[in-house]
Amino acid sequence: MSERWRVRGIRGAITVPRNDAQDIIDATYELVTEIMQRNAVDPEEIASVIFTVTPDLDAAFPAVGGRKAGLSAVPLICATEIPVPGGQARCVRVLMHVNTTKSQAEIQHVYLGEAAALRPDLCSGPAGNGEAKEVRE
């Protein structure tokens, strides 16, 4: 029996030290490559990617970091997050739509840097143990 392919969403976020074009591009590159590595994703399997940034990041489009990570043929779009009071500052978020045979439980969402606090329930390793109950996002 053949495996059933589905489109799954993979979430991630990373914080950027300052509103600098190279910092935004480098952080996005790190986030995208980490998502692809942890989930064994080939760029050919990616249907599209949505990037968002907090309003305090406007020096570069995070999609540039996605292109640098090898997503040259993947449709990418950028948007600004809503400015929720008390929300995480200097944050790049991603929603990657991937064609995969993995179940929802097998998908590894990636939250790096200070962004690990956004979804401690999804973080693994030193950033979180998956047992935390607080969810800010």
Residues of the chain with pLDDT under 50: 1, 125-136
Q: Any idea where the domains of the chain sit in the sequence?
A: 6-127
Catalytic residue numbers, as ranges: 11, 67, 78, 81, 93, 111, 119
Instruction: Residue 60: name the closest of 86, 24, 96 by CA.
Output: 24
The pLDDT value given to residue 123: 63
Buried/exposed code over 30-46 (b: 16+ C-beta within 10 A; e: otherwise):
bbbbbbbeebebeeebb
The pLDDT value given to residue 121: 76
The pLDDT value given to residue 124: 54
CATH class of 6-127: alpha beta
Contact yes or no for 89/136 (Cβ under 8 A): no
Give the model confidence (pLDDT) of 30-46 as tens digits.
Answer: 999 999 999 999 999 99
pTM over the 0.85 mark:
yes
Distances (CA, A) of 117 to 90, 126, 137: 13, 12, 9
